[in-house]
Structures are given as structure tokens and as C-alpha cells.
Amino acid sequence: MRENQRARRPEGSTKTGPVAVASESSTLSPFHRRYRPAALQGYTPSLTAVLVLLPPSERKAVGVDGPVLNFAELAFPALNRTRRGLVRELVQLAKREPAALQKALGLSNRQRHEGDRNALLLRAPTLPASELYTGIVYDNLSYSTLTGAGLARAQESLVVASSLFGLLRPEDRVPSYRLSGGTTLPGVGGLAPIWRLVLEKELAKQDFVVDLRSGAYVNLARVPGGVQVRVLRDEGGIRTVVSHDNKWTKGKLARALCLHGASSVDEVAQVAREVCDAVVVDGNRIDLLLYGLASAR
């Protein structure tokens, strides 16, 4: 284990254990059986087959006048069979069982309209993934302000882990939807058994993956050889995950990776020093430590 610091590390700091990932159920719904697949300075690394895997946002922008969803135009065409099946199921649930879907999505009555949008997935205007996802991660990534080599890297390497579409490049156009990674859909079941095999097969084609996902989205697909990034608040040697810090710092890191590039664990750690107070490298896992509020740096 190696630790690189920009600020003095508080005495008594200890490394936290690995984050537990829930195992998938062995019981498959009819949907699962139908769609389950068979079988920083001074360097500019290549981004060939390099992915920076971003978490999605719960809330999303809504398209106004874009074209409707066209699966054939999305990146990662090997995912289209699963995408089509899941979209079809979600549309039907939104139309026929809106109350059950609202409950499954954990939406209040004031949020019900977000679930209602799922009924229009095949007819609603689309917008690029770079504009669809909103919130702290995407504010700090600030994709629209990237230019030149930074924009080129972003277009080649950034990929959003979507519970509905699997993987999306920044320019992939999809409609606004509501579906969290941990959702169990009525009559369909959990999403991990739907996505895991097909996503892991696609991710295995990549030479290098920087995994910025967290929570339920990690459970949708494992990336055994990828670089796992965690953000931890370190207060007197006690390290905890703070949601705002996590999102803020991962957005900053994603942007820094676009600006500088990285194709190894050491290069990711080097870039990460720009966005945190200390970096701990343990094999393929990188912990970014903060000694105070991320937004105060």
C-alpha cells in the first residue's frame, strides 16, 4: 500500500476495509431468462480501450425537440438486445401498473411525474448523455467547457453506467427516464441479473477501466481488473464516505482525467492528487482522502 499526500496526514489514520457488494439472486424471472445473454505533466497517454466509468444521476434533464430513441445509433451495440427488452418492460409497467412502478422506484406523489415519463421512452425527445445527467458529478465534470485534447479524451473515454441503457458515451442520445440501479421491477426483478453478464463481457474488452461508480451501480457489473476509486473523509484517523464529498471529488477527478489522461494506476493516482488531500494506492484500489469539506478545497 502506498500513500501520496499533498497535506500532512492526521496521526492514527487507518485504511478502511473493502466495500461489500451484494450477491445476486439465483432465482430468475421470465424477463431474466428471456434476455440473459449466452455466454500530469509531461505525458499524454493513449486512450485506446480506456474507460472512465461514471455514475449516473437520479434526476435528469428532459429533452425538448430532439429525435426519438434510436438504438442503432447508440455505442456498445452488443447491449441493444438487453436495452430493448428492458425499455419495453419499463414502458409497459408505466402504462399498466403506474402505482406499482411508483412504489418500486421509491417516488413520492410529488415525484410521480418522473415515473410517468417512462411510459414515453419510445416517443419522447432525446438529448445527449452529456446533457441528460445533472447534479454535482456532472457540474464538476463540466463537459460543455472541455475543448481540444480534453474534449477528445472525454469523447473517447467517458462512459456513464446506466441502469436502463447499460453504458452510454457522452454523445449517445437517450430520453429522460427514472430507474435506479437498485430497483426491483414488478414481474421483472432486480437489474443485476439482467445486466451483469452482458456488461462484464463488454467491459472485459477494455484495456484499462477507471471505475468511479458507487452503490448499486457497482453491483450491476464487476470490473475485476479495473481501478476502483473511493473518496473518504478522514477525520482524526476515522475514514467515512460522505455522499457530497464523493460526488464532488469524482466529478473533479473525471475532468482532470480528461485534461491529463491516464493509462495506469500510478497515472490515475498522480492526476488524483489535484482533487484531494492525500492518495492511498492499494493494488488496483485508489482511496482519495479529504481532511475537510471537498467543496472547501
Evaluate if residue 8 carries a pLDDT over 70.
no
Evaluate if residue 24 carries a pLDDT over 90.
no
Structural domain of 45: 30-61+128-175+189-296
Evaluate if residue 2 carries a pLDDT over 50.
yes
The answer to the question of residue 95 being in a domain is: no
The total domain count for the chain is: 1
pLDDT for 59 equals: 86
The answer to the question of residue 183 being in a domain is: no
pLDDT for 295 equals: 76
Q: How far is the C-alpha of 210 from the C-alpha of 165, rounded, in Å?
A: 19
Q: How far is the C-alpha of 191 from the C-alpha of 29, rounded, in Å?
A: 11
Evaluate if residue 23 carries a pLDDT over 90.
no
Cβ atoms within 10 Å of 21's Cβ, excluding its own: 12
Instruction: Tell me the torsion sign for CA atoms 20, 26, 27, 29.
Output: positive
pLDDT for 1 equals: 66
Note every long-range contact of 152-157, with CB atoms under 8 Å and residues 24 or more positions apart, other chains counting: 153/47, 153/257, 153/258, 153/259, 153/261, 154/258, 156/47, 156/50, 157/47, 157/50, 157/51, 157/52, 157/257, 157/258
The answer to the question of residue 267 being in a domain is: yes
Evaluate if residue 102 carries a pLDDT over 70.
yes
Q: How far is the C-alpha of 131 from the C-alpha of 60, rounded, in Å?
A: 8
pLDDT in tens, 199-220: 999 999 999 999 999 889 999 9
The answer to the question of residue 83 being in a domain is: no
| pTM metric for this prediction | 0.84
The answer to the question of residue 98 being in a domain is: no
Of the listed ranges 37-46, 178-187, 256-265, the one predicted with least confidence: 37-46
The answer to the question of residue 292 being in a domain is: yes
Summary mean pLDDT of the chain: 87
The answer to the question of residue 234 being in a domain is: yes
The answer to the question of residue 74 being in a domain is: no
Average pLDDT over residues 180-202: 96
Q: How far is the C-alpha of 128 from the C-alpha of 169, rounded, in Å?
A: 9
pLDDT for 42 equals: 45
Share above pLDDT 90 across residues of the chain, in percent, rounded to a whole number: 76
Rounded to the nearest 10 degrees, how much is the dihedral formed by the CA atoms of 73, 92, 26, 20? 70
pLDDT for 47 equals: 41
Average pLDDT over residues 78-99: 97
